[in-house]
Structure 1
Amino acid sequence: MSTHVKINVKDLNVNSLVFRSDFHKCRKIFRALFARCLLFGHAACSVYFATQLNTSYYGIYAVCGFLFLLEAIVIFYFRYGLEWKKFCTCFICYLATMIPVLWLLRLNDMQTTLINSSNNISSSNNNTLSSLMGNTKFASLLSGQNLTSLLEQSMMILIIICRWMLPRGRIDRNSMSQLLIMYSAIGADILDFSDTFDRIEVARNKNLAIVVLAVWSWSLLQFTVVITTAFTFRRRRGRETEPGGGGTHSANSREDISETLSIMMVLLMQDGPFLVTRGYMISKGVFNYMIMFFSLKNALTLILGLYRLCVLYGCVTREGNDLLRKSEIARSLDSLDDIDCQSNPKSKTVKGTNHQRF
Structure 2
Amino acid sequence: MAERRGRIGGLVLLKALATRLLFVLHSLVAVWRVTWVKEEHWYWLLALLNLLLVLETVLTLKFKRGRGYKWFSPAIFLYLINIIPSLWLLEMHHGNQYCSAQSEKMAQNVSRRGDINQTMTSHRQANGMENILELARGFVDNLSMVCDPVWTLGLHQTLLLILIIGRWLLPIGGTITRDQLSELLLMFVGTAADILEFTTETLKENNVRNNPALVSGILVVWTWSMLQFPLDLAVQLKLVCPSSVKARGFLRLFLSQYGADLWAIGLSFFIQDGPFLVVRLVLMIYFQVINHMLVFFAVKNSLVMALHFYRLVALILATRASMEDHPESPKTQPSSPDQPSESGPSEWEDASREALPLQASPVTSEESYPTP
Counterpart pick for 1:192 among 183, 188, 197: 197
Structure 1 segment 51-200 matched on structure 2, within 5 A: 51-52=35-36, 53=38, 54-62=40-48, 64-108=49-93, 111-112=94-95, 122-125=100-103, 131=109, 134=113, 139=143, 142-169=146-173, 170-195=175-200, 196-200=202-206
User: Is contact 1:32–1:166 with CA below 8 Å preserved after alignment?
Assistant: yes
Match of 1:21 in 2: 5
SS of the aligned residue for 1:284 comes to: coil
Once the two structures are superposed, what CA deviation does each residue of 1:71-117 show, in whole Å capped at 9, x if it has no partner?
A: 10111111111111111111111110111100111111xx1256x6x
* Structure 1 unaligned regions, length at least 5: 1-17, 323-358
Match of 1:45 in 2: 29
Question: Hey, what's the Cα distance between the residues in 2 that align with 1:298 and 1:321?
Answer: 35
Counterpart pick for 2:306 among 303, 312, 323: 303
User: Is contact 1:129–1:142 with CA below 8 Å preserved after alignment?
Assistant: no
Question: Hey, what's the Cα distance between the residues in 2 that align with 1:129 and 1:87?
Answer: 47
SS of the aligned residue for 2:229 comes to: helix
Offset at residue 253 of structure 1 (A)? 3.6
Offset at residue 311 of structure 1 (A)? 2.0
User: Is contact 2:237–2:259 with CA below 8 Å preserved after alignment?
Assistant: no
Question: Hey, what's the Cα distance between the residues in 2 that align with 1:171 and 1:305?
Answer: 25
User: Is contact 1:130–1:140 with CA below 8 Å preserved after alignment?
Assistant: no
SS of the aligned residue for 2:290 comes to: coil
* Structure 2 unaligned regions, length at least 5: 115-137, 326-372
User: Is contact 2:27–2:47 with CA below 8 Å preserved after alignment?
Assistant: no
Counterpart pick for 1:204 among 200, 205, 210: 210
Match of 1:260 in 2: 262
Relative to its length, the structure with more helix (as a share) is 1
Question: Hey, what's the Cα distance between the residues in 2 that align with 1:129 and 1:188?
Answer: 35
Question: Could you tell me the TM-score, scaled by structure 2's length?
Answer: 0.70
User: Is contact 1:175–1:228 with CA below 8 Å preserved after alignment?
Assistant: no
Identity of aligned residues (%): 28
Q: What count of residue pairs does the alignment treat as equivalent?
A: 289
Match of 2:287 in 1: 284
Q: Is 1:222 equivalent to 2:205 in the alignment?
A: no
Structure 1 segment 319-338 matched on structure 2, within 5 A: 319=322
Question: Hey, what's the Cα distance between the residues in 2 that align with 1:294 and 1:227?
Answer: 26
| CA RMSD, Structure 1 to Structure 2 (Å) | 3.1
Deviates more, 1:147-156 or 1:130-139: 130-139
Amino acid at match of 2:44: Y
Task: Give 1 or 2 for the bigger CA radius of gyration.
Answer: 2
Closer, same or farther: CA 144–29 of 1 in aligned 2, 3 Å: same
SS of the aligned residue for 2:147 comes to: coil
Offset at residue 130 of structure 1 (A)? 7.9
User: Is contact 2:254–2:316 with CA below 8 Å preserved after alignment?
Assistant: no
Question: Hey, what's the Cα distance between the residues in 2 that align with 1:181 and 1:126?
Answer: 44
User: Is contact 1:87–1:225 with CA below 8 Å preserved after alignment?
Assistant: yes
Closer, same or farther: CA 84–127 of 1 in aligned 2, 3 Å: farther
SS of the aligned residue for 1:225 comes to: coil
SS of the aligned residue for 1:177 comes to: helix
